[in-house]
Amino acid sequence: MNSPTTFDLANSYRAFFKDPEWPLKTTIGGFINYTALGAFLFNPAFIPICFVLWALSTGYLLRTLRGSAAGDLEKVPQWNDWLDLIISGLSWLSIAAGFFFFALSLFAVSLLLGAGFDISHISKPNFLVWSEATFLGLFFIGLAQNFFLMVLMANFAEEERMAAGFAWRKTLSRIAKAPLELATVWLAGSALTVIALTIPPMTLIGALFTPFCFFLAQIISARMIGQTWAYINRTEKI
């Protein structure tokens, strides 16, 4: 069965601005990101507080994704039940951290191999081959992980239980059933994130608004993922 292509991601973008409270809700999330970043830059010892703040914003994104998957595109979720947001966000961050440490372990293995075969020094003839292979390998593994995590995050948000974050078989099954839609929403969300992180910092004033632009891009991306997830659910029932 071919992957259907009749979904419209623009609905997530247009409907977002129909909520009259979207500036306030976005500002709250941006301020949380701003505070977390500022606290970390001021003193890395504040990292536990930063994780709580990141969990709060992540929990809100999960709630946004869940609402979008349920068909609620006309309103952006309220900032309430903050403890629930923190618990949900910390749960997801712990799952995502496992993928990060996996990539880090691959990098460590590459360094050990480079040192073991004496090719990790720039003066060695095989250094260029080793360094390029390491970089490209980690780059493409990172892209694959990011795509897989997006789909896994949608499943985790929908089921609201820790086990859903380890449903790799279901995640791979979803990817196999609708690769085009999931790849499209992943690329669209990634493009929004890149724009939010690169365009504003081009000016001093814009740099101050980067955390807010970043959170806005995250919200729209979460809504697009949720809409795509709901679309795949509907196609499976046909």
For 48, list phi and psi in degrees, rounded to 5: -60, -40
- For residues 45 and 15, what is the distance between their CA atoms, to the nearest angstrom? 40
Query: What's the pLDDT band for 62 if we cut at 50, 70, 90?
Result: very high
Residue 16 or residue 54, greater confidence: 54
Q: Taken in order 234, 87, 98, 213, is the CA torsion positive or negative?
A: positive
* Contacts of range 95-103, beta carbons closer than 8 Å, 24 or more positions apart: 95/152, 95/156, 95/165, 95/166, 96/149, 99/145, 99/148, 99/149, 102/145, 103/138, 103/141, 103/142, 103/145
SS3 122: coil
The predicted structure's pLDDT at residue 4:
37
- For residues 92 and 17, what is the distance between their CA atoms, to the nearest angstrom? 27
- Asked if residue 23 lies in contact with residue 212, where contact means CB atoms within 8 angstroms, the answer is no
What is the separation of C-alpha 51 from the centre of its chain, rounded to a whole number of angstroms?
15
The predicted structure's pLDDT at residue 2:
39
- Asked if residue 85 lies in contact with residue 63, where contact means CB atoms within 8 angstroms, the answer is yes
- For residues 95 and 109, what is the distance between their CA atoms, to the nearest angstrom? 22
DSSP 214-238: HHHHHHHHHHHHHHHHHHHHHHHH-
pLDDT tens by residue, 143-179: 999 999 999 999 999 888 888 889 999 899 999 988 9
The predicted structure's pLDDT at residue 64:
93
Predicted structure pTM score = 0.88
- For residues 170 and 156, what is the distance between their CA atoms, to the nearest angstrom? 11
Query: What's the pLDDT band for 237 if we cut at 50, 70, 90?
Result: low
- Asked if residue 137 lies in contact with residue 84, where contact means CB atoms within 8 angstroms, the answer is no
Residue 5: pLDDT above 80?
A: no
